[in-house]
Structure 1
Amino acid sequence: AAAAPAAPTPSLDARAEARASDPLEGATVWIVALGGRGEVQPLIALGAQLRKACCAVRLFGPDAFQSLAESSGLAYRQVGQGIRALQQSRELRGCHHVELLRLWVEKEVCHTVKVVLAYLEGAQPDLLIVNHFGFNIAASAWRARGIPSACVHVRAEPFPLDVKRGGMPGFLDFLHVERSCVVQADGVTPVQHTSFSEWCAWLDALPCLMGTTRLVTEALQEHRHEAAGAMAFVGSLVIDDQKPLGDPAMFGSSNEMRKLQVFLNKGSTPPVYMGWGGAVAEKGPVHMVLTACFGLILCNLRGVIATGRSGMSIELFREGIVALARSHTSITPQDIAWYVDYLESNVLFVEAAPHEWLFMRCSCTVHHGGAGTTAAALRAGVPTVVIPMTGPHYFYAHWVNVLGVGVGFDTTSMEDMSGELLAWSLRHVTNETRVRARAREVGQMLRREDGAAGALPHIRGLVGDARSGAARARWESERQLREPTTSEEEPPDPRWAVVVQETLAEAATCSEDVWVMTDDSYHEHSFLALAVGLRRAGYRVTFLGGRPFRDLAADCGLGFIEIFPGIDAWLQRPGTVEKLSGVDGERTAAFWGWFQRELAVASTAVLSAMAEATPRLLCVSRNLLGVGIAAKRRFDVPFLLVHRLAPWGAQLEPEGSDMVACEALGLELGQPPAAGEEEWASAVEPSRTLVCLPGLLRGGVPPEAAELYAFTGFWRLDGLPPCDGETEQRLDAFLGESPPAALVAWGEAVCHDRLWMLRTALAALRFAGLRAVIVEGAARLNMEALSQVARTPVDPLENGAFVESDVMFITACPPLRCLQRCACVVHAGGASITAAVLHAGVPSAVTPLFGENYFHAQVIQDLGMGKIAGDLRVIDRGSLAFCVRQVAFNESIQHMATFRAGELENDGGVETAVALVSREIQSRAGVG
């Protein structure tokens, strides 16, 4: 046959013109793929699409994916072993999957960051693409080198959406990675020396592509649709379903693949796929294999079970059923033999399997609800059953229910699953014509989406921005905002190295006037404790605070000056709770409006009082720091800054709350170069700051800050009854009944509406098998709200969910001895409740909402005294129930909580704080 004519070679001019018209032509793009199969494979698919567009692509990822990436034509740099290798290590075989993820972040993520940053030393790609584990790399690459980045999310549960909305999830993880490796590699600290608002602004500016279908937004709560609408959903990033077949790492080995193909071909009906990824139920692999196998046996179905890290097998089933037979005499040896024979003929156990290829050859899928697994199951066009293992999985279970493509157990985890319940779900999805038809319809829709091709226009714009020089110009313009890599400042004098007993002895002879001032009703008990301690040390003390504390201050022998009505008075106004229940922007505007008015009133009141009498020293809370500076400027009154919460860094930047003193100061705070910049710096030197936290929590604070601040321990006001005597008696009786009760104390946190909060709390505790003691708080969670929930159930499960005898409402946090009788405490990580649970030694399930909440939540988790359930804005009852069960019935957490409480008994607390205040007064005695 005649040879086909060769295509003409384009001229150099034509190539240059093409390159000018398409920025992707010849562009260099680096992709950092951190995670497991669900995170890495989509980025390989994106890299292959970019290579087709004539980009030079380099992909950094775990060794297990090297052959798959290279078969797609990508230059691959292996970094680490990946999370799967960690899951399979013998020494971690019994480790909980949440703890595994933490270990993986500490080891693999930090190692990857070091490798990528080292490569960036000698290269300058046009664009860096990361997933949600790679924020540190993106931040460092931009801060140190001006390399622009884009984030590609393949998970659509609330995490990435909340990050884009300025939420806090993950901030402390990014901070840990930065301390572990970014500082050593680059010398820059984009997270640590960035205020939280700046961090959120940077995340908002980071281009973000959602590598999943927009159908996922149907499962989002209404208040989240606006955030989702601003994100680019490009569709799922999928590798050709045949490509993984050439890589034995995708399914264990070539031998396993042959066994899988033989098994699929020999049966008359397609099998059921079952697999739970790398997660293992707390009840253990035996519970998992018994549940899975009995589900198949009861429905007379064939199955393929991917064992993952659990090690499920026929041998493990035999061990489990023999043990079960000892307590159930109805199970005979003949039954056991029949079960084993059935499994040997109808069930195949494999280590792993290629999802895209296998799922469409199954009658339905049963899985844990991972993002990638759920997407693959939906694309297959067959019904699916989701049995969650941990927090994000409940979101995908809910999504399956919303789409109508199967059964999602969004309120039940693997811990509570039984063979009978699994069998019911299998019968439903395989026999219900409507479900199978809907699954086919959704599968066809998703298979038409080409996420990799859909991402190209967005990436083309980013590369064009970089290659045109616009990105570099922005980076140059930000140069003055970047911190230097080294500091030549002298370390401050360690003023707080004092002997407490000697200082207190000296203080007993003093009769100086000290004013203790705070702005927040929820923290005033601690400041009141400091004031009482100073009075007992011989000082004349005046307490400046909210109206609710007037009588209490008088009972403690303190002078009192009311400087604001207090947050309780504001919360009782009509419409306030409704405003706080709105979307984030409305809630923030409402709270900030009140806060500005409150601070303005406090500023005027304090300065007016000082015109009549001048104290020797003023102790101020963080939000009244501007007032302290104004007092120093006008009346030459020195002040000490008292942190009720943890300090984030060594430097205190001006905040909105400081602007209330601008007029009195004549400064333009926060607008560098400000007229009073030097005065601000000298006024807030860290050596004059007390922190009302025990040294036990020092590890959660940046090291340079931990060395500067004085950690005194918690301040408690002994003998203060948190609730009235009658309530205390009823609470004692309630806690003495069975089953045990959990305390829900969300304090000032208000999210969505109060009925949503109450429904979530009650349903979660019901699923956890606990009764409820609920502190009314700012959301007004009370009996009236409970009656509204009962009148308007939104879910059949709410009918009869809680009766009046199962729940008790109180208006304030209970006394310490009552707190110690609770199975656990559900709270938002506020400073006061955190102090209470740490002292009581009670496990915590924390649902943080505000910035400082996340610090306290992370500290509780790091100390082993509880778990972070998830952001209060996005938590669902299934995730909360899972976390509550983890902390309330886990002996190791209970023992650790008791142990840590014992450690805190040795804290100096108020005594240490009084000694430090005394030393400050004495050091100034000779000063004019």
Structure 2
Amino acid sequence: MRRDIVIFAAGSRGDVQPCVALGRGLAERGHGVRLIVAAGHEPLAAGLDTSVLSVDPARLLETDEVREWLRNGRNPLGFVAGFRRVIRPMAEMLLGEILAGCKDADLLIFPTLGFVGHHLAEYLGIDDALIHFQPSQPTSAFPHPLVSRAYGANRLSYHLVEQLAWQLSRPFLNTWRRDTLALPKLPLGGPIRTVRDVPVLACFSEAVVPRPPDWPSHVHVTGYWFLDEPSWTPGPRLADFLAAGPPPVYVGFGSMTPPHPEAMAATVRAALRAAGVRGILAFGDDGAGDDDVLVVGDVPHSWLFPRMLAAVHHGGAGTTAAALRAGIPAVVCPFFGDQTFWGGRVAALGAGPAPLPIRRLAPEPLTARITAAVGDERMRRRAADLGRRIAAEDGVARACAALENAHGAGAARRVGDGLGAAGNHGNGDDR
């Protein structure tokens, strides 16, 4: 049965591309699809209906204030203060734009942040599903990806992260529920209990994160949702550089801006040369370079990575997935958040050396890790094996099937839980 589906795809490119891939997969199966995207990302969603947010979270990452906040990502007090200073002033505007983008939908697919999709689904009386770009479903197998160590309390770490997120967003979300959605305020503990029952699409591969045995059946580990770029042709400088010698090592940090780009570039060049390899740098002046290092602009990872000897990157979920799919070893240099988790997974799987946090980046440790990534045959074979497994998966098809099989379950649960639906709240009768 055809459904009108809204997917919240705002964020950096690594967040948007998987959602576009899912949206196209659903559209090919006959569903109506609208993506909520940030300004500037509309070209990625070509062919799909879009609702555009006025604020691009990726551009916020470029401000000094936000960089300082993100550097405090594992400092709870610093993170809370930064959240209030940076995010809260934008919340009212963004929530209004998101609500407008959900018009006429009968299924919402949203990431976990703030459980905004769940509030909207309650208001509209429709189904919702969650996207997990990292394993965020509680388990005893490992701690939450945003927690470095749980000291034996793995499952508890998920509740702590969820409660921190809810307590940060509760003041403005409850105000929004009351004043805009005409819904009752949620209690101190938030919507965690009811959200636990909605379908979860875990957008990663079981080859990378084996499914924990204590996850319930409505958590679907689908495999990655890759957005295969159309035919892409490199410019002459890149084509000539690749043809002029052996495969180089890619170095790039996605939407993460190094704190001192010029010094970082010098460190990376020194490490590449000490390791005896050529390099492609995805930061710095586009087109700059010399005989053994070239700086490039925006090049699709799906085209570039299979032509690389290895990749040095920040550990974002999307970049990690692209490097693993390409079957090349990776040196992960995490900045914050779940990047440390993904770097740990790459190393644990034998597809790369131990992560090198960006704050510790220096020529000697980077040289040692690049040397291992390009010279350790066992590591290279393991990366290639993983690449073949991931490339054989069809994460989009599995996610689409999971959503179609879950039809109607969310609305029934909300009515049974006594939360109500839009027919009771949309006209303001319960204000």
Task: Say which of 99, 102, 115 aligns to 1:117.
Answer: 99
Which residue is 1:153 aligned to?
132
Q: Percent identity?
A: 25
Give 3-state SS (helix, strand or coil) of 1:124's partner. coil
Counterpart residue type for residue 383 of structure 2: A
Task: Say which of 7, 13, 17 aligns to 1:37.
Answer: 13
CA 33–184 in structure 1, closer or farther in 2 if over 3 Å, else same:
farther
State the Cα distance separating 1:201 from its structure 2 match. 0.6
Q: Is 1:275 equivalent to 2:252 in the alignment?
A: yes
Task: Say which of 96, 101, 106 aligns to 1:126.
Answer: 106
Give 3-state SS (helix, strand or coil) of 1:141's partner. helix
Which residue is 1:345 aligned to?
291
Which residue is 2:53 aligned to?
79
Q: Is 1:204 equivalent to 2:186 in the alignment?
A: no
Give 3-state SS (helix, strand or coil) of 2:196's partner. helix
Which residue is 2:118 aligned to?
139
Task: Say which of 333, 340, 357 aligns to 1:387.
Answer: 333
Which residue is 1:194 aligned to?
187
Preserved CA contact (<8 Å) 1:217 1:228 = no
Give 3-state SS (helix, strand or coil) of 2:373's partner. helix
Instruction: Give, in whole Å, the separation in 2 of the partners of 1:30 and 1:358.
Output: 31
CA 438–460 in structure 1, closer or farther in 2 if over 3 Å, else same:
same
Give 3-state SS (helix, strand or coil) of 1:389's partner. coil
Instruction: Give, in whole Å, the separation in 2 of the partners of 1:474 and 1:164.
Output: 29
Instruction: Give, in whole Å, the separation in 2 of the partners of 1:185 and 1:478.
Output: 16
Q: Higher Cα Rg: structure 1 or 2?
A: 1
Provide structure 2 residue ranges, at least 5 long, that are not aligned to the other structure: 74-81, 137-143, 147-153
Preserved CA contact (<8 Å) 1:141 1:148 = no
Which residue is 2:35 aligned to?
59
CA 110–386 in structure 1, closer or farther in 2 if over 3 Å, else same:
farther
Instruction: Give, in whole Å, the separation in 2 of the partners of 1:276 and 1:32.
Output: 24
Which residue is 1:170 aligned to?
165
Task: Say which of 396, 405, 420 aligns to 1:452.
Answer: 396
Counterpart residue type for residue 34 of structure 1: A
State the Cα distance separating 1:349 from its structure 2 match. 1.8
Which residue is 2:79 aligned to?
none
State the Cα deviation string for residues 235-267 of structure 1 (Å, max 9, x = none).
000111436x49xxxxxxxxxx52564354432
Preserved CA contact (<8 Å) 1:146 1:475 = no
Counterpart residue type for residue 208 of structure 2: V
Q: Is 1:304 equivalent to 2:255 in the alignment?
A: no
Preserved CA contact (<8 Å) 1:366 1:387 = yes
Preserved CA contact (<8 Å) 1:29 1:127 = yes
Instruction: Give, in whole Å, the separation in 1 of the partners of 2:54 and 2:268.
Output: 33
Give 3-state SS (helix, strand or coil) of 2:343's partner. helix
Instruction: Give, in whole Å, the separation in 2 of the partners of 1:259 and 1:278.
Output: 25
Counterpart residue type for residue 200 of structure 1: I
TM-score in terms of structure 2 length: 0.81
Task: Say which of 230, 238, 261 aligns to 1:242.
Answer: 230
Which residue is 1:437 aligned to?
381
State the Cα deviation string for residues 60-107 of structure 1 (Å, max 9, x = none).
11122212212xx21112112422222346x76975545798476436
State the Cα distance separating 1:297 from its structure 2 match. 1.5
Instruction: Give, in whole Å, the separation in 2 of the partners of 1:478 and 1:69.
Output: 33
Preserved CA contact (<8 Å) 2:51 2:101 = no
State the Cα distance separating 1:126 from its structure 2 match. 1.8
Give 3-state SS (helix, strand or coil) of 1:29's partner. strand
Give 3-state SS (helix, strand or coil) of 2:371's partner. helix
Which residue is 1:323 aligned to?
none
CA 177–290 in structure 1, closer or farther in 2 if over 3 Å, else same:
farther
Instruction: Give, in whole Å, the separation in 2 of the partners of 1:448 and 1:407.
Output: 25
Instruction: Give, in whole Å, the separation in 2 of the partners of 1:59 and 1:28.
Output: 11
Alignment of 1:652-691 (within 5 A): none
Preserved CA contact (<8 Å) 2:129 2:198 = yes
Instruction: Give, in whole Å, the separation in 1 of the partners of 2:217 and 2:350.
Output: 23
Preserved CA contact (<8 Å) 1:364 1:384 = yes
Instruction: Give, in whole Å, the separation in 1 of the partners of 2:301 and 2:118.
Output: 34
Preserved CA contact (<8 Å) 1:83 1:104 = no
Counterpart residue type for residue 58 of structure 1: R
CA 359–426 in structure 1, closer or farther in 2 if over 3 Å, else same:
same
Counterpart residue type for residue 217 of structure 1: V
Give 3-state SS (helix, strand or coil) of 2:255's partner. coil
Which residue is 2:214 aligned to?
226
Which residue is 1:415 aligned to?
359
Instruction: Give, in whole Å, the separation in 1 of the partners of 2:342 and 2:378.
Output: 20
Which residue is 1:354 aligned to?
300
CA 414–483 in structure 1, closer or farther in 2 if over 3 Å, else same:
same
Alignment of 1:821-900 (within 5 A): none
State the Cα deviation string for residues 504-547 of structure 1 (Å, max 9, x = none).
xxxxxxxxxxxxxxxxxxxxxxxxxxxxxxxxxxxxxxxxxxxx
CA RMSD of aligned residues (A): 3.5
CA 93–170 in structure 1, closer or farther in 2 if over 3 Å, else same:
closer
Q: Report which stretch shifted further, 293-302 or 357-366.
A: 293-302
Instruction: Give, in whole Å, the separation in 2 of the partners of 1:227 and 1:287.
Output: 45
State the Cα deviation string for residues 13-37 of structure 1 (Å, max 9, x = none).
xxxxxxxxxx2xx321111112111
State the Cα distance separating 1:470 from its structure 2 match. 4.6
Preserved CA contact (<8 Å) 2:182 2:425 = no
Preserved CA contact (<8 Å) 1:164 1:200 = no
Which residue is 1:377 aligned to?
323
Preserved CA contact (<8 Å) 1:42 1:238 = yes
Instruction: Give, in whole Å, the separation in 1 of the partners of 2:293 and 2:172.
Output: 43
Provide structure 1 residue ranges, at least 5 long, that are not aligned to the other structure: 1-22, 247-256, 316-342, 489-928
Instruction: Give, in whole Å, the separation in 1 of the partners of 2:419 and 2:371.
Output: 63
CA 175–263 in structure 1, closer or farther in 2 if over 3 Å, else same:
farther
Which residue is 2:406 aligned to?
462
Give 3-state SS (helix, strand or coil) of 2:207's partner. helix
Instruction: Give, in whole Å, the separation in 1 of the partners of 2:376 and 2:169.
Output: 46
CA 419–159 in structure 1, closer or farther in 2 if over 3 Å, else same:
closer
Give 3-state SS (helix, strand or coil) of 2:34's partner. strand
Counterpart residue type for residue 434 of structure 1: R
Instruction: Give, in whole Å, the separation in 1 of the partners of 2:336 and 2:352.
Output: 19
Counterpart residue type for residue 97 of structure 2: V
CA 264–449 in structure 1, closer or farther in 2 if over 3 Å, else same:
farther
Instruction: Give, in whole Å, the separation in 1 of the partners of 2:20 and 2:371.
Output: 37
Instruction: Give, in whole Å, the separation in 2 of the partners of 1:289 and 1:47.
Output: 37
Preserved CA contact (<8 Å) 2:127 2:408 = no
Instruction: Give, in whole Å, the separation in 2 of the partners of 1:79 and 1:96.
Output: 22
Q: Size of the alignment, in residue pairs?
A: 404
Instruction: Give, in whole Å, the separation in 2 of the partners of 1:228 and 1:414.
Output: 36
Larger RCO of the pair (alpha carbons < 8 Å, separation 6+): 2
Which residue is 2:261 aligned to?
285
Alignment of 1:730-879 (within 5 A): none
Instruction: Give, in whole Å, the separation in 2 of the partners of 1:164 and 1:233.
Output: 21
Preserved CA contact (<8 Å) 2:252 2:312 = yes
Task: Say which of 176, 182, 185 aligns to 2:180.
Answer: 185
CA 39–109 in structure 1, closer or farther in 2 if over 3 Å, else same:
farther
Give 3-state SS (helix, strand or coil) of 1:139's partner. helix
Counterpart residue type for residue 222 of structure 2: V
Instruction: Give, in whole Å, the separation in 1 of the partners of 2:164 and 2:275.
Output: 42
Instruction: Give, in whole Å, the separation in 2 of the partners of 1:453 and 1:270.
Output: 33
